[in-house]
């Protein structure tokens, strides 16, 4: 019986790597924000989905930042988590 997530034509090692990346919905539903700074009324922050160590850097005006966080139901990461992830930004 074939794997339902298998992709025809992919070499075995690539298919194995893709299978290892399969993630449950609960993990992908988690959203993380770590504030990294504030400048001229804009909040700089890192946003990640599923894994706090893989993020994008964004900046929004404070009102839009609060709306963004609310709509995404984010979990705020602490300074301790930031240090553990290897980033030395100041927390606000």
Residue 36: inside a domain: yes
Residue 7: inside a domain: no
Residue 79: inside a domain: yes
Residue 76: inside a domain: yes
Average pLDDT over residues 29-46: 94
Among 70, 22, 71, 69, CA closest to 50: 22
Counting the structural domains of the chain, the total is 1
| pLDDT at residue 92, as a whole number | 36
pTM recorded for the entire structure: 0.64
| pLDDT at residue 72, as a whole number | 95
Residue 4: inside a domain: no
How much of the chain, in percent, has pLDDT values that exceed 70?
Answer: 66
Residue 32: inside a domain: yes
Residue 61: CB atoms within 10 A of its CB come to: 12
| pLDDT at residue 88, as a whole number | 47
Residue 6: inside a domain: no
| pLDDT at residue 2, as a whole number | 47
Average pLDDT over residues 19-39: 83
Domain residues for the domain of 40 are 24-85
Residue 52: inside a domain: yes
- 53, pLDDT greater than 90: no
The CA distance from 4 to 32, in Å, is 30
* Cα-trace Rg, the chain: 17
Average pLDDT, the chain: 80
Among 22, 20, 83, 13, CA closest to 52: 83
CA distances from 54 to 32, 42, 92 (A): 10, 22, 20
């Amino acid at each position: 019986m074939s794997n339902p997530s298998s992709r025809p034509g992919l070499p075995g090692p690539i298919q194995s790597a893709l299978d290892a990346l399969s993630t449950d919905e609960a993990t992908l539903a988690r959203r993380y924000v770590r504030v990294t700074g504030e400048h001229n009324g804009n909040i700089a922050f890192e946003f990640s989905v599923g894994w706090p160590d893989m993020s994008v850097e964004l900046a929004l005006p404070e009102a839009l930042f609060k709306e963004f966080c609310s709509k995404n139901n984010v979990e705020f990461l602490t300074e301790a988590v930031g240090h553990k992830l290897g980033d030395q930004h100041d927390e606000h």
